[in-house]
Amino acid sequence: MLQTRHFQQNALLGLLPEKELEHLLPHLEEVSLTLGQSLSESGRHMSHVYFPLDAIVSLLCVMENGDSTEIAVVGHEGLVGVSQFMGGETTLTSAIVQSAGQAYRLKSHLLKREFDRAGTMQRLLLRYTQALLTQMAQTAVCNRHHSLDQQLCRWLLLSLDRLPGNELIMTQELIANMLGVRREGVTESAGKLQKAGLISYNRGHITVLDRQGLEDRVCECYAGVKNEYDRLLKYPAVTVAC
Amino acid sequence: MLQTRHFQQNALLGLLPEKELEHLLPHLEEVSLTLGQSLSESGRHMSHVYFPLDAIVSLLCVMENGDSTEIAVVGHEGLVGVSQFMGGETTLTSAIVQSAGQAYRLKSHLLKREFDRAGTMQRLLLRYTQALLTQMAQTAVCNRHHSLDQQLCRWLLLSLDRLPGNELIMTQELIANMLGVRREGVTESAGKLQKAGLISYNRGHITVLDRQGLEDRVCECYAGVKNEYDRLLKYPAVTVAC
DNA sequence: AAAACTCTGTACGCTATCGCACATAAGGTA
DNA sequence: TACCTTATGTGCGATAGCGTACAGAGTTTT
Protein backbone atom coordinates (compact mmCIF):
# COMPACT_ATOMS: atom_id res chain seq x y z
CA MET A 1 0.00 0.00 0.00
CA LEU A 2 2.80 2.31 0.86
CA GLN A 3 4.27 1.85 -2.58
CA THR A 4 1.14 3.07 -4.25
CA ARG A 5 1.65 6.41 -2.55
CA HIS A 6 4.61 8.53 -3.46
CA PHE A 7 5.85 10.58 -0.59
CA GLN A 8 9.29 10.79 -2.04
CA GLN A 9 7.90 12.91 -4.85
CA ASN A 10 7.86 15.73 -2.39
CA ALA A 11 11.42 16.59 -1.49
CA LEU A 12 10.72 17.44 2.12
CA LEU A 13 8.81 14.26 2.80
CA GLY A 14 11.27 12.26 0.76
CA LEU A 15 14.20 13.40 2.86
CA LEU A 16 12.60 12.43 6.16
CA PRO A 17 13.98 9.37 7.88
CA GLU A 18 11.45 6.58 7.99
CA LYS A 19 10.96 6.94 11.71
CA GLU A 20 9.78 10.51 11.45
CA LEU A 21 7.75 9.87 8.35
CA GLU A 22 5.78 7.32 10.32
CA HIS A 23 4.52 10.05 12.61
CA LEU A 24 2.95 11.79 9.68
CA LEU A 25 1.91 8.91 7.43
CA PRO A 26 -1.48 8.32 9.04
CA HIS A 27 -2.35 11.97 8.70
CA LEU A 28 -1.21 12.75 5.19
CA GLU A 29 -4.13 13.05 2.84
CA GLU A 30 -3.72 13.21 -0.92
CA VAL A 31 -5.78 15.94 -2.52
CA SER A 32 -6.24 17.34 -6.01
CA LEU A 33 -5.52 21.02 -6.33
CA THR A 34 -7.34 22.80 -9.10
CA LEU A 35 -6.12 25.76 -11.10
CA GLY A 36 -6.86 28.98 -9.30
CA GLN A 37 -7.72 27.34 -6.00
CA SER A 38 -6.79 29.43 -2.98
CA LEU A 39 -4.92 27.65 -0.20
CA SER A 40 -4.30 30.67 1.97
CA GLU A 41 -5.68 34.16 2.17
CA SER A 42 -4.31 37.26 3.78
CA GLY A 43 -4.71 37.07 7.54
CA ARG A 44 -6.85 33.94 7.50
CA HIS A 45 -6.03 30.86 9.48
CA MET A 46 -4.91 27.82 7.48
CA SER A 47 -6.34 24.55 8.66
CA HIS A 48 -3.84 22.54 6.61
CA VAL A 49 -0.42 22.84 5.11
CA TYR A 50 0.24 21.41 1.65
CA PHE A 51 3.12 19.37 0.27
CA PRO A 52 2.79 19.63 -3.52
CA LEU A 53 3.60 16.62 -5.66
CA ASP A 54 3.04 17.71 -9.24
CA ALA A 55 0.98 20.80 -8.40
CA ILE A 56 2.55 24.27 -8.33
CA VAL A 57 1.45 26.96 -5.93
CA SER A 58 2.23 30.67 -6.19
CA LEU A 59 2.68 32.84 -3.16
CA LEU A 60 1.16 36.18 -4.04
CA CYS A 61 1.02 39.55 -2.42
CA VAL A 62 -2.28 41.19 -3.34
CA MET A 63 -2.87 44.92 -2.97
CA GLU A 64 -6.10 46.61 -1.98
CA ASN A 65 -6.85 47.55 -5.60
CA GLY A 66 -6.37 43.98 -6.77
CA ASP A 67 -2.90 44.38 -8.24
CA SER A 68 -0.75 41.43 -7.34
CA THR A 69 2.75 40.08 -7.62
CA GLU A 70 4.09 36.60 -7.17
CA ILE A 71 6.82 36.60 -4.59
CA ALA A 72 7.69 32.93 -4.66
CA VAL A 73 6.61 29.65 -6.16
CA VAL A 74 6.26 26.33 -4.39
CA GLY A 75 6.31 22.90 -5.97
CA HIS A 76 7.42 19.40 -5.08
CA GLU A 77 10.51 20.82 -3.42
CA GLY A 78 8.64 22.49 -0.60
CA LEU A 79 5.46 23.15 1.28
CA VAL A 80 2.79 25.81 1.51
CA GLY A 81 2.23 27.17 5.00
CA VAL A 82 5.53 28.06 6.65
CA SER A 83 3.70 30.48 8.95
CA GLN A 84 2.16 27.46 10.64
CA PHE A 85 5.42 26.41 12.22
CA MET A 86 7.09 29.82 12.35
CA GLY A 87 4.63 30.78 15.02
CA GLY A 88 2.71 33.52 13.26
CA GLU A 89 -0.34 31.39 12.47
CA THR A 90 -1.39 33.70 9.65
CA THR A 91 0.39 35.55 6.87
CA LEU A 92 -0.32 38.46 4.56
CA THR A 93 0.49 36.51 1.42
CA SER A 94 -2.02 34.43 -0.50
CA ALA A 95 -1.32 31.02 -1.94
CA ILE A 96 -2.96 30.26 -5.28
CA VAL A 97 -2.68 27.07 -7.31
CA GLN A 98 -0.86 27.97 -10.47
CA SER A 99 -0.74 24.53 -11.99
CA ALA A 100 -3.30 21.89 -11.09
CA GLY A 101 -2.08 18.63 -9.66
CA GLN A 102 -1.76 16.47 -6.58
CA ALA A 103 -0.54 17.38 -3.13
CA TYR A 104 -0.52 15.93 0.34
CA ARG A 105 -2.16 17.95 2.99
CA LEU A 106 -1.63 17.77 6.71
CA LYS A 107 -3.43 19.46 9.56
CA SER A 108 -1.43 22.48 10.59
CA HIS A 109 -1.18 21.57 14.24
CA LEU A 110 0.23 18.17 13.37
CA LEU A 111 3.01 19.78 11.37
CA LYS A 112 3.67 22.13 14.25
CA ARG A 113 3.84 19.18 16.61
CA GLU A 114 6.33 17.40 14.41
CA PHE A 115 8.33 20.59 14.04
CA ASP A 116 8.54 20.93 17.81
CA ARG A 117 10.11 17.50 18.12
CA ALA A 118 13.24 19.24 16.92
CA GLY A 119 14.23 16.39 14.64
CA THR A 120 15.03 16.17 10.97
CA MET A 121 11.71 17.70 10.02
CA GLN A 122 12.54 20.86 11.91
CA ARG A 123 15.93 21.12 10.23
CA LEU A 124 14.37 20.56 6.85
CA LEU A 125 11.61 23.08 7.34
CA LEU A 126 13.97 25.76 8.56
CA ARG A 127 16.33 25.28 5.66
CA TYR A 128 13.40 25.30 3.29
CA THR A 129 12.20 28.55 4.78
CA GLN A 130 15.59 30.06 4.23
CA ALA A 131 15.47 28.98 0.59
CA LEU A 132 12.10 30.68 0.37
CA LEU A 133 13.62 33.87 1.79
CA THR A 134 16.24 33.72 -0.92
CA GLN A 135 13.69 33.24 -3.63
CA MET A 136 11.68 36.20 -2.39
CA ALA A 137 14.71 38.45 -2.24
CA GLN A 138 15.81 37.54 -5.72
CA THR A 139 12.30 38.00 -7.05
CA ALA A 140 12.23 41.49 -5.57
CA VAL A 141 15.48 42.54 -7.20
CA CYS A 142 14.48 40.93 -10.49
CA ASN A 143 11.24 42.89 -10.48
CA ARG A 144 13.20 46.06 -10.11
CA HIS A 145 16.04 45.60 -12.54
CA HIS A 146 15.20 43.14 -15.26
CA SER A 147 13.05 43.31 -18.34
CA LEU A 148 9.75 41.57 -18.66
CA ASP A 149 11.33 39.30 -21.28
CA GLN A 150 13.84 38.05 -18.77
CA GLN A 151 11.33 37.75 -16.00
CA LEU A 152 9.10 35.65 -18.20
CA CYS A 153 12.01 33.31 -18.91
CA ARG A 154 12.71 33.04 -15.20
CA TRP A 155 9.09 32.31 -14.49
CA LEU A 156 8.86 29.64 -17.16
CA LEU A 157 12.00 27.94 -15.90
CA LEU A 158 10.85 28.02 -12.29
CA SER A 159 7.59 26.42 -13.37
CA LEU A 160 9.30 23.88 -15.60
CA ASP A 161 11.50 22.75 -12.72
CA ARG A 162 8.40 21.88 -10.77
CA LEU A 163 6.46 20.12 -13.52
CA PRO A 164 6.70 16.53 -14.67
CA GLY A 165 6.52 17.45 -18.36
CA ASN A 166 7.21 20.45 -20.50
CA GLU A 167 3.69 21.77 -20.87
CA LEU A 168 2.04 24.41 -18.74
CA ILE A 169 -1.69 24.98 -18.56
CA MET A 170 -1.67 28.72 -18.09
CA THR A 171 -3.16 31.68 -19.86
CA GLN A 172 -1.22 34.84 -20.51
CA GLU A 173 -3.67 36.64 -18.30
CA LEU A 174 -2.68 34.51 -15.33
CA ILE A 175 1.02 34.87 -16.01
CA ALA A 176 0.49 38.61 -16.08
CA ASN A 177 -1.11 38.47 -12.63
CA MET A 178 1.82 36.47 -11.34
CA LEU A 179 4.42 38.82 -12.69
CA GLY A 180 2.38 41.86 -11.80
CA VAL A 181 2.30 43.21 -15.35
CA ARG A 182 -0.27 43.75 -18.10
CA ARG A 183 -1.61 40.85 -20.06
CA GLU A 184 -0.57 42.58 -23.29
CA GLY A 185 2.99 42.76 -22.05
CA VAL A 186 3.03 39.01 -21.60
CA THR A 187 1.56 38.56 -25.08
CA GLU A 188 4.41 40.55 -26.51
CA SER A 189 7.20 38.86 -24.58
CA ALA A 190 5.74 35.42 -25.15
CA GLY A 191 5.47 36.27 -28.84
CA LYS A 192 9.19 36.92 -28.97
CA LEU A 193 9.94 33.59 -27.32
CA GLN A 194 7.61 31.83 -29.72
CA LYS A 195 9.20 33.49 -32.75
CA ALA A 196 12.59 32.42 -31.44
CA GLY A 197 11.29 28.85 -31.33
CA LEU A 198 11.73 28.46 -27.58
CA ILE A 199 8.10 27.90 -26.74
CA SER A 200 4.83 27.28 -28.47
CA TYR A 201 1.48 28.10 -27.01
CA ASN A 202 -2.15 28.45 -27.72
CA ARG A 203 -5.12 29.20 -25.60
CA GLY A 204 -3.70 28.42 -22.24
CA HIS A 205 -1.28 25.70 -23.23
CA ILE A 206 2.38 26.58 -23.23
CA THR A 207 4.92 24.03 -24.38
CA VAL A 208 8.59 24.62 -23.79
CA LEU A 209 10.50 23.48 -26.87
CA ASP A 210 13.99 24.66 -26.04
CA ARG A 211 14.83 24.81 -22.40
CA GLN A 212 18.43 25.68 -23.10
CA GLY A 213 17.28 28.65 -25.11
CA LEU A 214 15.36 29.95 -22.11
CA GLU A 215 18.38 29.49 -19.90
CA ASP A 216 20.45 31.46 -22.37
CA ARG A 217 18.08 34.40 -22.12
CA VAL A 218 17.24 34.35 -18.45
CA CYS A 219 18.86 36.73 -15.97
CA GLU A 220 21.20 35.62 -13.23
CA CYS A 221 18.31 35.52 -10.76
CA TYR A 222 17.22 32.08 -11.89
CA ALA A 223 20.53 30.34 -11.37
CA GLY A 224 21.16 32.11 -8.08
CA VAL A 225 17.94 30.85 -6.57
CA LYS A 226 18.27 27.38 -8.01
CA ASN A 227 21.76 26.93 -6.63
CA GLU A 228 20.64 28.10 -3.24
CA TYR A 229 17.76 25.61 -3.22
CA ASP A 230 20.14 22.83 -4.17
CA ARG A 231 22.61 23.83 -1.50
CA LEU A 232 20.02 24.10 1.24
CA LEU A 233 17.87 21.11 0.40
CA LYS A 234 20.06 18.56 -1.28
CA TYR A 235 21.71 17.06 1.79
CA PRO A 236 20.02 19.09 4.46
CA ALA A 237 20.19 16.46 7.17
CA VAL A 238 23.95 16.69 7.23
CA THR A 239 25.19 19.25 9.71
CA VAL A 240 27.90 21.41 8.22
CA ALA A 241 31.02 21.62 10.35
CA CYS A 242 31.99 25.09 11.50
CA MET B 1 26.64 47.41 35.88
CA LEU B 2 23.76 45.80 34.12
CA GLN B 3 21.83 49.05 34.20
CA THR B 4 24.53 50.81 32.25
CA ARG B 5 23.85 48.48 29.37
CA HIS B 6 20.55 48.53 27.57
CA PHE B 7 19.51 45.18 26.26
CA GLN B 8 15.91 46.13 26.33
CA GLN B 9 16.58 48.63 23.58
CA ASN B 10 16.63 45.70 21.24
CA ALA B 11 13.18 44.22 21.11
CA LEU B 12 14.29 40.62 20.80
CA LEU B 13 16.66 40.83 23.74
CA GLY B 14 14.19 42.90 25.69
CA LEU B 15 11.50 40.26 25.39
CA LEU B 16 13.68 37.45 26.67
CA PRO B 17 12.96 36.19 30.16
CA GLU B 18 15.81 36.95 32.52
CA LYS B 19 16.82 33.33 32.75
CA GLU B 20 17.46 33.02 29.05
CA LEU B 21 19.08 36.41 28.82
CA GLU B 22 21.64 35.25 31.34
CA HIS B 23 22.88 32.61 28.93
CA LEU B 24 23.76 35.33 26.47
CA LEU B 25 24.81 38.22 28.70
CA PRO B 26 28.43 37.19 29.08
CA HIS B 27 28.79 36.91 25.31
CA LEU B 28 27.06 40.04 24.11
CA GLU B 29 29.51 42.63 22.97
CA GLU B 30 28.53 46.20 22.21
CA VAL B 31 29.98 47.49 18.96
CA SER B 32 29.73 50.67 16.91
CA LEU B 33 28.51 50.17 13.38
CA THR B 34 29.66 52.76 10.87
CA LEU B 35 27.78 53.97 7.83
CA GLY B 36 28.39 51.68 4.91
CA GLN B 37 29.93 48.89 6.95
CA SER B 38 29.21 45.43 5.60
CA LEU B 39 28.01 42.84 8.11
CA SER B 40 27.33 40.06 5.66
CA GLU B 41 28.29 39.36 2.08
CA SER B 42 26.80 37.00 -0.43
CA GLY B 43 27.78 33.44 0.35
CA ARG B 44 30.27 34.35 3.08
CA HIS B 45 30.15 32.91 6.55
CA MET B 46 29.15 35.33 9.31
CA SER B 47 31.13 34.98 12.50
CA HIS B 48 28.63 37.06 14.45
CA VAL B 49 25.01 38.04 14.41
CA TYR B 50 24.01 41.60 15.30
CA PHE B 51 21.23 43.00 17.46
CA PRO B 52 20.95 46.68 16.48
CA LEU B 53 20.18 49.25 19.16
CA ASP B 54 20.08 52.58 17.37
CA ALA B 55 21.85 51.42 14.20
CA ILE B 56 19.89 50.48 11.09
CA VAL B 57 21.00 47.76 8.71
CA SER B 58 19.74 47.18 5.20
CA LEU B 59 19.48 43.75 3.68
CA LEU B 60 20.41 44.14 0.05
CA CYS B 61 20.37 41.93 -2.97
CA VAL B 62 23.25 42.91 -5.22
CA MET B 63 23.42 41.89 -8.87
CA GLU B 64 26.51 41.02 -10.85
CA ASN B 65 26.58 44.44 -12.51
CA GLY B 66 26.39 46.23 -9.18
CA ASP B 67 22.71 47.14 -9.30
CA SER B 68 21.11 46.57 -5.95
CA THR B 69 17.80 46.66 -4.13
CA GLU B 70 17.01 46.73 -0.46
CA ILE B 71 14.74 43.88 0.41
CA ALA B 72 14.32 44.57 4.10
CA VAL B 73 15.57 46.81 6.84
CA VAL B 74 16.60 45.76 10.34
CA GLY B 75 16.76 47.98 13.42
CA HIS B 76 16.21 47.64 17.13
CA GLU B 77 13.25 45.38 16.52
CA GLY B 78 15.30 42.53 15.10
CA LEU B 79 18.62 40.97 14.31
CA VAL B 80 20.95 40.56 11.36
CA GLY B 81 21.84 36.97 10.59
CA VAL B 82 18.76 34.79 10.48
CA SER B 83 20.59 32.30 8.27
CA GLN B 84 22.73 31.44 11.29
CA PHE B 85 19.90 29.70 13.07
CA MET B 86 17.85 28.69 10.04
CA GLY B 87 20.54 26.20 9.18
CA GLY B 88 21.83 27.63 5.93
CA GLU B 89 24.96 29.21 7.41
CA THR B 90 25.29 31.62 4.49
CA THR B 91 22.89 33.73 2.48
CA LEU B 92 22.88 35.50 -0.87
CA THR B 93 21.86 38.85 0.59
CA SER B 94 24.29 41.44 1.88
CA ALA B 95 23.80 43.42 5.06
CA ILE B 96 25.01 47.03 4.97
CA VAL B 97 24.83 49.59 7.74
CA GLN B 98 22.43 52.26 6.58
CA SER B 99 22.53 54.40 9.67
CA ALA B 100 25.50 54.36 12.00
CA GLY B 101 24.94 53.46 15.62
CA GLN B 102 25.35 50.84 18.31
CA ALA B 103 24.56 47.16 18.24
CA TYR B 104 25.24 44.05 20.26
CA ARG B 105 26.98 41.27 18.54
CA LEU B 106 27.07 37.63 19.45
CA LYS B 107 29.05 34.75 18.04
CA SER B 108 26.85 32.92 15.57
CA HIS B 109 27.29 29.51 17.13
CA LEU B 110 26.18 30.85 20.50
CA LEU B 111 22.96 32.12 19.00
CA LYS B 112 22.46 28.79 17.34
CA ARG B 113 23.02 27.05 20.66
CA GLU B 114 20.46 29.23 22.36
CA PHE B 115 18.04 28.71 19.49
CA ASP B 116 18.38 24.95 19.85
CA ARG B 117 17.30 25.12 23.48
CA ALA B 118 13.83 25.56 22.05
CA GLY B 119 12.85 28.21 24.57
CA THR B 120 11.55 31.74 24.25
CA MET B 121 14.48 32.77 22.10
CA GLN B 122 13.56 30.21 19.48
CA ARG B 123 9.96 31.34 19.45
CA LEU B 124 11.04 34.95 19.15
CA LEU B 125 13.52 34.32 16.39
CA LEU B 126 11.05 32.33 14.36
CA ARG B 127 8.36 34.94 14.66
CA TYR B 128 10.87 37.61 13.77
CA THR B 129 11.87 35.65 10.70
CA GLN B 130 8.27 35.48 9.65
CA ALA B 131 7.98 39.24 10.04
CA LEU B 132 11.04 39.55 7.83
CA LEU B 133 9.37 37.35 5.22
CA THR B 134 6.41 39.68 5.28
CA GLN B 135 8.56 42.75 4.87
CA MET B 136 10.35 41.21 1.92
CA ALA B 137 7.12 40.24 0.23
CA GLN B 138 5.63 43.67 0.66
CA THR B 139 8.80 45.31 -0.57
CA ALA B 140 8.65 43.20 -3.69
CA VAL B 141 5.09 44.15 -4.50
CA CYS B 142 5.77 47.81 -3.67
CA ASN B 143 8.71 47.82 -6.08
CA ARG B 144 6.41 46.60 -8.77
CA HIS B 145 3.32 48.66 -8.34
CA HIS B 146 4.05 51.91 -6.56
CA SER B 147 5.65 55.15 -7.60
CA LEU B 148 9.06 56.22 -6.47
CA ASP B 149 7.39 59.00 -4.47
CA GLN B 150 5.47 56.50 -2.42
CA GLN B 151 8.40 54.18 -2.03
CA LEU B 152 10.51 57.02 -0.71
CA CYS B 153 7.84 57.79 1.88
CA ARG B 154 7.77 54.15 2.89
CA TRP B 155 11.53 54.05 3.17
CA LEU B 156 11.67 57.21 5.26
CA LEU B 157 9.02 55.91 7.62
CA LEU B 158 10.68 52.54 8.00
CA SER B 159 13.91 54.32 8.86
CA LEU B 160 12.22 56.75 11.19
CA ASP B 161 10.64 53.90 13.14
CA ARG B 162 14.10 52.57 13.86
CA LEU B 163 15.78 55.84 14.78
CA PRO B 164 15.84 57.64 18.12
CA GLY B 165 15.35 61.08 16.54
CA ASN B 166 13.96 62.46 13.33
CA GLU B 167 17.18 63.02 11.44
CA LEU B 168 18.80 60.64 8.99
CA ILE B 169 22.42 60.83 7.91
CA MET B 170 21.99 59.64 4.37
CA THR B 171 22.79 60.97 0.93
CA GLN B 172 20.35 60.71 -1.94
CA GLU B 173 22.89 58.56 -3.70
CA LEU B 174 22.67 55.95 -0.95
CA ILE B 175 18.90 56.06 -0.83
CA ALA B 176 18.92 55.46 -4.57
CA ASN B 177 21.04 52.34 -4.06
CA MET B 178 18.62 51.09 -1.44
CA LEU B 179 15.55 51.63 -3.55
CA GLY B 180 17.29 50.40 -6.68
CA VAL B 181 16.62 53.61 -8.64
CA ARG B 182 18.63 56.50 -10.07
CA ARG B 183 20.04 59.15 -7.81
CA GLU B 184 18.28 61.81 -9.90
CA GLY B 185 14.99 60.12 -9.28
CA VAL B 186 15.49 60.42 -5.56
CA THR B 187 16.46 64.08 -5.96
CA GLU B 188 13.19 64.72 -7.70
CA SER B 189 10.98 62.81 -5.26
CA ALA B 190 12.76 64.24 -2.24
CA GLY B 191 12.36 67.68 -3.77
CA LYS B 192 8.61 67.20 -3.84
CA LEU B 193 8.56 66.17 -0.20
CA GLN B 194 10.68 69.15 0.73
CA LYS B 195 8.45 71.56 -1.19
CA ALA B 196 5.48 70.07 0.61
CA GLY B 197 7.21 70.83 3.90
CA LEU B 198 7.41 67.21 5.00
CA ILE B 199 11.17 66.94 5.15
CA SER B 200 14.17 69.18 4.92
CA TYR B 201 17.57 68.02 3.86
CA ASN B 202 20.98 69.14 2.85
CA ARG B 203 24.12 67.30 2.04
CA GLY B 204 23.36 64.01 3.60
CA HIS B 205 21.18 65.19 6.46
CA ILE B 206 17.48 64.53 6.14
CA THR B 207 15.15 65.84 8.83
CA VAL B 208 11.57 64.68 8.93
CA LEU B 209 9.38 67.65 9.78
CA ASP B 210 5.94 66.15 9.33
CA ARG B 211 5.65 62.49 9.96
CA GLN B 212 1.89 62.52 9.53
CA GLY B 213 2.34 64.05 6.11
CA LEU B 214 4.52 61.14 5.09
CA GLU B 215 1.94 58.70 6.40
CA ASP B 216 -0.71 60.44 4.35
CA ARG B 217 1.29 59.94 1.18
CA VAL B 218 2.67 56.47 1.73
CA CYS B 219 1.17 53.41 0.12
CA GLU B 220 -0.57 50.67 2.04
CA CYS B 221 2.66 48.66 2.11
CA TYR B 222 3.99 50.55 5.08
CA ALA B 223 1.04 49.98 7.38
CA GLY B 224 0.71 46.36 6.32
CA VAL B 225 4.24 45.54 7.32
CA LYS B 226 4.12 47.58 10.50
CA ASN B 227 0.98 45.89 11.72
CA GLU B 228 2.43 42.51 11.01
CA TYR B 229 5.58 43.33 12.99
CA ASP B 230 3.44 44.49 15.88
CA ARG B 231 1.30 41.41 15.75
CA LEU B 232 4.22 39.01 15.58
CA LEU B 233 6.56 40.68 18.01
CA LYS B 234 4.49 42.54 20.55
CA TYR B 235 3.51 39.64 22.76
CA PRO B 236 5.31 36.87 21.00
CA ALA B 237 5.88 34.72 24.05
CA VAL B 238 2.16 34.12 24.34
CA THR B 239 1.01 31.08 22.47
CA VAL B 240 -2.15 31.71 20.51
CA ALA B 241 -4.84 29.16 21.13
CA CYS B 242 -6.02 27.22 18.08
C1' DA C 1 -25.70 26.69 -36.52
C1' DA C 2 -25.71 30.71 -33.98
C1' DA C 3 -24.46 33.11 -30.05
C1' DA C 4 -21.64 34.03 -26.21
C1' DC C 5 -17.45 33.84 -24.20
C1' DT C 6 -12.43 33.36 -23.69
C1' DC C 7 -7.89 33.95 -25.25
C1' DT C 8 -4.59 36.22 -28.05
C1' DG C 9 -2.76 39.90 -31.24
C1' DT C 10 -2.11 44.76 -32.37
C1' DA C 11 -2.13 49.63 -32.24
C1' DC C 12 -1.53 54.23 -30.10
C1' DG C 13 -0.79 57.80 -27.04
C1' DC C 14 0.81 58.39 -22.17
C1' DT C 15 3.85 58.38 -18.17
C1' DA C 16 7.49 57.13 -15.10
C1' DT C 17 11.79 56.20 -15.07
C1' DC C 18 16.29 55.76 -17.30
C1' DG C 19 20.85 57.33 -19.02
C1' DC C 20 23.55 60.97 -19.80
C1' DA C 21 25.37 65.59 -19.54
C1' DC C 22 26.19 69.54 -16.97
C1' DA C 23 25.37 73.20 -13.74
C1' DT C 24 25.31 74.78 -9.06
C1' DA C 25 26.26 74.64 -4.28
C1' DA C 26 28.25 73.36 0.06
C1' DG C 27 32.16 71.64 2.79
C1' DG C 28 36.70 70.30 3.43
C1' DT C 29 41.61 71.12 2.38
C1' DA C 30 45.83 73.33 0.92
C1' DT D 1 41.76 82.54 -0.17
C1' DA D 2 41.66 79.33 -3.79
C1' DC D 3 40.93 74.65 -4.86
C1' DC D 4 38.90 70.21 -4.80
C1' DT D 5 35.62 66.91 -3.65
C1' DT D 6 31.04 65.67 -2.72
C1' DA D 7 26.10 66.46 -2.88
C1' DT D 8 22.29 68.21 -5.22
C1' DG D 9 19.51 70.35 -9.14
C1' DT D 10 18.06 70.31 -13.96
C1' DG D 11 17.36 69.39 -18.58
C1' DC D 12 17.24 66.69 -22.27
C1' DG D 13 15.98 62.48 -25.47
C1' DA D 14 15.15 57.40 -25.13
C1' DT D 15 12.38 53.55 -23.64
C1' DA D 16 9.79 50.09 -21.16
C1' DG D 17 5.67 49.33 -19.63
C1' DC D 18 0.77 51.22 -18.90
C1' DG D 19 -4.19 52.03 -20.14
C1' DT D 20 -7.36 51.67 -23.50
C1' DA D 21 -9.59 50.15 -27.48
C1' DC D 22 -10.65 46.86 -30.63
C1' DA D 23 -10.12 42.89 -33.89
C1' DG D 24 -9.69 38.04 -34.81
C1' DA D 25 -9.58 33.32 -33.57
C1' DG D 26 -10.76 29.40 -30.85
C1' DT D 27 -14.07 27.23 -27.49
C1' DT D 28 -18.30 26.53 -25.15
C1' DT D 29 -23.15 27.14 -24.72
C1' DT D 30 -27.63 27.49 -26.51
pLDDT in tens, A1-56: 444 456 679 999 999 999 999 999 999 999 999 999 999 988 889 999 999 999 99
The enclosing H or E element of A193 equals: helix A183-195
Question: What backbone torsions phi and psi does residue A233 show, to the nearest 5 degrees?
Answer: -120, 0
Mean pLDDT estimate for chain A: 92
pLDDT of B5 higher than 70:
no
Q: Find and list the nucleotides of strand C having atoms within 7 Å of a protein beta carbon.
A: 6-11, 16-21, 26-27
User: How many angstroms separate the CA atoms of A132 and A7, rounded?
Assistant: 21
Q: B143-223 in CATH: which number? A: 1.10.10.10
pLDDT given for residue B25 in this prediction: 93
SS3 for A234?
coil
pLDDT of B190 higher than 80:
yes
User: How many angstroms separate the CA atoms of B153 and B220, rounded?
Assistant: 11
Confidence of residue A89 (pLDDT cuts 50, 70, 90): confident
Give chain B residues 203-222 with Cβ within 7 A of strand D: 203-204
Q: Which residue is nearest to the C1' sugar atom of C19, using CA? A: B182
**B161-165: long-range pairs with CB below 8 Å, 24+:** B161/B75, B161/B226, B162/B52, B162/B56, B162/B73, B162/B75, B162/B76, B162/B77, B162/B99, B163/B54, B163/B56, B163/B75, B163/B99, B164/B54
User: How many angstroms separate the CA atoms of A3 and A26, rounded?
Assistant: 14
Between the CA of residue A224 and those of A124, A155, B40, what are the distances in Å? Answer: 20, 14, 17
Q: Do domains A1-110 and A143-223 have the same CATH topology?
A: no
pTM for this one?
0.93
Return the CATH class of domain A1-110: mainly beta
Domain ranges of chain A: 1-110, 143-223
Query: Does residue A143 lie within 7 Å of nucleic acid chain C, judged by its CB?
Result: no
User: How many angstroms separate the CA atoms of B37 and A170, rounded?
Assistant: 45
pLDDT given for residue A235 in this prediction: 63
All residues of chain A having their beta carbon less than 8 Å from the beta carbon of residue B93 are 134, 137
The enclosing H or E element of B223 equals: helix B220-233
Tens digit of each residue's pLDDT (9 = 90 or more) over B52-93: 999 999 999 999 988 999 999 999 999 999 999 999 889 999
User: How many angstroms separate the CA atoms of B40 and B45, rounded?
Assistant: 8
